[in-house]
Amino acid sequence: MDRRKFLGLGLAVLALAPLTKLNATDYRKEKPDAWKAVKPADGIKALYGDITPEEKGVTIKAPKLAENGGKIPVVVKSDIEAKSVAIFQDANPRATVAVWTVPEGGIVDYAITMKMKGSGKITAIVEGKDGKFYSKVLPIEVSKGGCGG
């Protein structure tokens, strides 16, 4: 088989593979409005509808004062059996930062590094398997804005 054909086959397999095996919920495709929301409340509504989360069961670990707004380490933890977890903040042009789909038997203990343009509040929402929502809000201060600020 000449090389071009062989490479072409390889690429075709690569292109198909992710589509067939993924049972992931791609929130960017399913909830595009959530990513456009400016305020956390709008992001939460777009993602989960009109919910009244209980402020319990979720912890957010983040530095009280972030020296570099461009790389803020944040950890979201919860012991609740969850379907999904989402993080929002109110210091950037748009609110939604990340959404996780929790796999069967998954552990909610996620760490990321994010950006915030200035000081603000981080909101984490956990969508429980029991159909209820749980939240936590953590204010943090940022000394040097990181979103191109």
Partner 1 sequence: MKVKAKEKNGIVKVKVLAKHQNIGPEEGEKKKKEANFITSVVAKVGDTVVYEMNGSGFMSKNPLYKFKFKGKKGDEIEVTWTDLKGNTKSKKVKIK
- Chain residues that interact with partner 1, rule: CB under 8 A: 18, 21-28, 35, 70-73, 75, 89, 92-94, 96-101, 103, 105-107, 109-116, 146-148
118 dihedral zone (left: phi>0; alpha: psi -120 to 50; beta)? beta
Q: Which CB atom, from 9 or from 111, has the smaller least distance to partner 1?
A: 111
Q: Which CB atom, from 5 or from 29, has the smaller least distance to partner 1?
A: 29
N residues, the chain: 149
Minimum CB–partner distance for residue 68 and partner 1 (Å) = 9
CA 117 to chain centroid, in Å, comes to 17
Whole-angstrom distance, CA of residue 135 vs CA of residue 7: 49
Q: Which CB atom, from 54 or from 67, has the smaller least distance to partner 1?
A: 67
Whole-angstrom distance, CA of residue 107 vs CA of residue 109: 6
Minimum CB–partner distance for residue 13 and partner 1 (Å) = 13
Minimum CB–partner distance for residue 11 and partner 1 (Å) = 12
Minimum CB–partner distance for residue 141 and partner 1 (Å) = 17
131 dihedral zone (left: phi>0; alpha: psi -120 to 50; beta)? left
Q: Which CB atom, from 1 or from 49, has the smaller least distance to partner 1?
A: 49
Whole-angstrom distance, CA of residue 41 vs CA of residue 48: 10
